[in-house]
Amino acid sequence: MLYSSDLLAIVGAGEQASLSPRRLCLFKTTTGLPLRELNFLTSILAVRMNKKRLVVVLLEKTFVYDLNTLVMLDTIDTVPNPKGLSAFSPSLEGCYLAVPASATKGSVLVYNVMDLQSHSEIDAHRSPLAAIALSSNGMYIATASEQGTLIRVHLVSEATKSYSFRRGTYPSTIYSLSFGPSTQLPDILIATSSSGSIHAFSLSLAINQRSKRSTSFLGSVLPDSVSDALDPAHHHVLQNAVSSGIRSYAVVRKIDKLEGTSSPSQFTSLRATVSVITYNGYFQEYTLSINNKNESLWTMEREFNLFSITTG
């Protein structure tokens, strides 16, 4: 769906001839009629849209279209990308596409879809990528490798600058990454994993706290490889939110902050609305509250089975 509009990009799963995985249908829900169709030689693995661009990800190619005219603007040759890994920022000012740049290590190609040129290549991990996310303003990119123990955040404009959160000690598959909505540094980064847990990282608070420490004597003598690890106290986990091994995706829909009275940069509390959808058909909505002592509370607001709604 293009934001909250009536435009949908639909790709079939192949059960019917009219629902070929090689066919993309742009569909208008208000009229109930298809607008245009695009056909490809191989299966479509991912689709991304904003107000100006339509991006279609195939196994070894990614196509960039003008959304209004559907004129093909560029074709990007990529490494084999069987999972269709990609991230897209909706901002027209920082309108970037991120796709894997290597099949053997965790490198990311960042491509400017407005200027139609490569922006940078980021070496994020030693192992191949499992998940990528771009912030809504296009300023930050988060990555996780197939190892799944570290999640790294890079500033897109400075490809070498990174921060890292440790998700856990044992390997786990990261299914999704999502930044909270923000015009600057996002407050929250959310991850879901094969362990069934939901991980929330207080990104802005951790980085700001780390920046203050780096100006101290201790911060000045620590090498970057040590000091780029963010404080694990800013990692807030909801255990067993989903059955282990069930693929799930989470998105931060809303952030509410109460600013501190002593300093504009000091917040008293933060409340995030997190929506989760699972491959076994469940929709969940949580509220994550973090107080000024960095204590967190997860509250489930609602849960329902999408299959029972559609078949009932």
Confidence band for 222, pLDDT divided at 50, 70 and 90: very low
Residue in the block written with tokens 């939110």: 241
Q: 266 pLDDT exceeds 80?
A: no
pLDDT in tens, 48-67: 999 999 999 999 999 999 99
Rounded CA-CA distance 71/67 in Å is 8
Q: What is the pLDDT of residue 217?
A: 42
pLDDT in tens, 196-214: 999 999 887 777 666 665 5
pLDDT in tens, 246-265: 999 999 999 988 765 445 45
Q: What is the pLDDT of residue 77?
A: 96
Q: 75 pLDDT exceeds 50?
A: yes
For 179, other C-beta atoms within 10 Å of its C-beta total: 27
Of the candidates 184, 4, 211, 187, the residue with the CA atom closest to the CA atom of residue 91: 184
- Torsion over CA: 298, 301, 305, 306 (sign): negative
Question: Could you tell me which CATH number the domain at 85-305 has?
Answer: 2.120.10
pLDDT in tens, 108-153: 999 999 999 999 999 999 999 999 999 988 999 999 999 888 899 9
Model's pTM, two decimal places? 0.86
pLDDT in tens, 287-297: 999 888 888 99
Question: What percentage of the chain has pLDDT greater than the value 70?
Answer: 88
